[in-house]
Structure 1
Amino acid sequence: MVLVKGNKSGIVITDIQMQFMSMVEFMVKAVLAAIPALLILAVIGFVVTLIFSAMLRIGH
């Protein structure tokens, strides 16, 4: 059961009823889904670092 209070400015969820094992399963799936996202962010950060590193070397 989900209790929701709504008005013109937004919605506030006040309670979620969920089985413990369902919550554990959801959290495990969320962690597994985050791994590829973190790898992509790491690659982007590495590329940005290489670009800034190359730009700083050009000036010297």
Structure 2
Amino acid sequence: MPEPFQRTIITDIDIPFGSLVLFFVKASLAAIPAAFIVAFILAFIGWLLRLIFGFGMMGGMVT
């Protein structure tokens, strides 16, 4: 027989300030390569869309 559903409420988390700062520094440094990867993926998708549909070439050459 499964146990009944029990609710848990967390009221306080005690994290030292230094550990919290270190965590945010690590998260910031990890976000930099992640942003490059996301930008590369979006640029590749944009390149594919331009290749397939010809976006950006509808106005002809502008001199």
TM (normalized to structure 2)?
A: 0.66
**Structure 2 CA distance, aligned partners of 1:9 and 1:52?**
50
**Structure 1 CA distance, aligned partners of 2:5 and 2:41?**
39
Runs of 4+ aligned structure 1 residues displaced above 6 Å come to none
CA shift for structure 1 position 16: 1.5
Larger Rg: 2
Q: Quick one: structure 1 residues 10 and 47, their matched pair in 2 at CA, closer, same or farther if it must change by over 3 Å?
A: farther
Unaligned 5+ runs, structure 1: 1-6
Residue correspondences, number: 52
Deviates more, 1:31-40 or 1:7-16: 7-16
Between Structure 1 and Structure 2, the one with more strand by share is: 1
Q: Quick one: which amino acid aligns to residue 43 of structure 1?
A: F
State the identity %: 38
Q: Quick one: which amino acid aligns to residue 19 of structure 2?
A: S
Unaligned 5+ runs, structure 2: 59-63
Between Structure 1 and Structure 2, the one with more helix by share is: 1
Higher RCO (CA < 8 A, seq sep 6+): 1
Q: Quick one: which amino acid aligns to residue 15 of structure 2?
A: M
TM (normalized to structure 1)?
A: 0.69
